[in-house]
């Protein structure tokens, strides 16, 4: 039997395939398309301390094998999440992770504290890399001191698995990864979206209401893969890799580069069943290459 399970900190995932925050809702939106309990994990849409309306429409632009989004953390706030959303998640046999975001360290801490109380949420992904909000967000993830500070503050109040999600919009992502590791993160996930822009040449206007937005999809994969590789050389904690993963081969490349698990984002929009195909494709690959456990692929790149 092929063993697909991996561990993030002490948490065991049945396989390395998770879904990326903001691209899979709260999971149940995909119920008609796949059996959620087959997934390694689900990271739900960002939660902030207060309800947020997000940015104005238009929030999306299609680009070359990718897309820009400028959603801006629209969500109903942590209290709603705790009371209304979470109870709906308990029936699925997979791990749900909250994606925690805010504009201030206090905000992050507030959300993390409240989510810490939830039995069925085994971990959070601290989003210090959202490029689509005016305050906070990505700013925390683009310098070592601020990345350290927010991680450390959350670590104090959050007792379960703490994943910190890094921004690719930096000169040296390995440095930031090291800073959050030092601050007590159990894992890092990367990459969030690359800051980009789209223009409507006919109208001579930006396509997005916010002018710039976050780039995701196959276009960013080479950059994401490089960053996962760089970070894997810099930290000891497990890495969750993402950015453009659309099939099993992509996923395997991230594992080889050093990721312990991967997240699938934008590809869910193109094929809502893509995650299942990726899980099956990884299994096929392992069988074909006579590899018994998927963990043997992690960082197994021969350089």
Partner 1 sequence: MRKVIHSLKVLENKSAGGDNFTLLLEAPEPLPTITPGQFCEVKVDNDPTVYLRRPFSIHNVDYKSNTITLLIKVLGKGTAKLSGIKEGDALNVVYPLGKGFTISDEPKVLLVGGGCGVAPLLYMARVLNEKGIRPTILVGGRTTVDVPRVEAYKEVGETHVATEDGSLGEKGLVTQHSVFKSHLADFKRIYTCGPEGMMKAVAKAAEALEIPCEVSLENTMACGIGVCLCCVTETKEGHKCVCTEGPVFDSTQLNGWNIDKASTCSKPYLKNE
Ligand X SMILES: Cc1cc2nc3c(=O)[nH]c(=O)nc-3n(C[C@H](O)[C@H](O)[C@H](O)COP(=O)(O)O)c2cc1C
For partner 1, the binding residues (CB under 8 A) are: 22-25, 29-30, 32-33, 45, 53-54, 56-60, 62-67, 69, 71, 74, 217-218, 266, 268-273
- CA distance linking residue 101 with residue 109, whole number of Å: 10
Nearest Cα to 213, choosing from 56, 60, 25, 23? Answer: 60
* Pair of tokens at residue 97: 């992770």
121-150: contacts with a second copy (CB under 8 A): 142-143
* Pair of tokens at residue 130: 């959202």
Contact between 48 and 55 under an 8 Å Cβ cutoff? The reply is no
| Minimum CB distance to ligand X, residue 106 (Å) | 19
8-state DSSP, 75? B
| Minimum CB distance to a second copy, residue 148 (Å) | 16
Q: Tell me the C-alpha to C-alpha distance, in Å, between residue 22 and each of 10, 75, 267.
A: 25, 10, 12
* Pair of tokens at residue 166: 């890094």
| Minimum CB distance to ligand X, residue 30 (Å) | 15
Locus of tokens 């699938």: 264
67, 112, 130, 282: the active-site residue:
130
Residue nearest to ligand X (CB): 22
Closer CB to a second copy, 84 or 296, in the complex: 296
Closer CB to ligand X, 2 or 247, in the complex: 247
> Does 130 participate in catalysis according to the annotation?
yes
The interface partner of residue 165, options being partner 1, a second copy, ligand X, none and the CB cut-off 5 to 8 Å by kind, is: ligand X
Closer CB to a second copy, 157 or 174, in the complex: 174
Locus of tokens 């930006």: 206
């Amino acid at each position: 039997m092929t063993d697909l399970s991996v561990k993030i900190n002490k948490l065991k995932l049945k396989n390395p395939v998770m879904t990326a925050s903001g691209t899979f809702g709260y999971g149940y939106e995909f119920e008609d398309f796949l059996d959620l309990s087959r997934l390694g994990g689900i990271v739900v849409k960002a939660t902030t301390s207060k309800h947020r309306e997000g940015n104005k429409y238009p929030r999306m632009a299609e680009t070359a094998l990718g897309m820009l989004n400028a959603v801006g953390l629209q969500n109903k706030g942590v209290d709603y999440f705790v009371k209304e959303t979470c109870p709906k998640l308990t029936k699925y046999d997979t791990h749900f992770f909250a994606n925690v975001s805010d504009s201030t360290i206090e905000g992050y801490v507030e959300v993390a504290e409240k989510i810490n109380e939830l039995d069925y949420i085994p971990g959070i992904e601290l989003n210090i890399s959202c490029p689509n909000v005016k305050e906070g967000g990505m700013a925390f993830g683009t310098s070592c001191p601020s990345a350290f500070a927010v991680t450390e503050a959350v670590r104090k109040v959050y007792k379960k698995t703490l994943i910190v999600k890094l921004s690719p919009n930096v000169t040296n992502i390995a440095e930031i990864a090291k800073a959050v590791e030092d601050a007590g993160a159990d894992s890092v996930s990367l990459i969030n979206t690359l800051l980009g822009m789209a223009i409507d040449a006919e109208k001579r206007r930006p396509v997005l209401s916010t002018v710039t937005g976050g780039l995701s999809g196959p276009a960013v994969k080479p950059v994401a893969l490089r960053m996962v590789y760089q970070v894997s050389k810099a930290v000891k904690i497990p890495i969750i890799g993402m950015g453009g993963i659309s099939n099993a081969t992509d996923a395997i490349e991230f594992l080889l580069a050093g990721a312990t698990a991967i997240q699938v984002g934008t590809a869910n929009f193109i094929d809502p069943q893509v995650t299942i195909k990726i899980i099956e494709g990884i299994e096929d690959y392992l069988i074909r290459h006579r590899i018994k456990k998927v963990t043997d692929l992690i960082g197994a790149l021969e350089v």
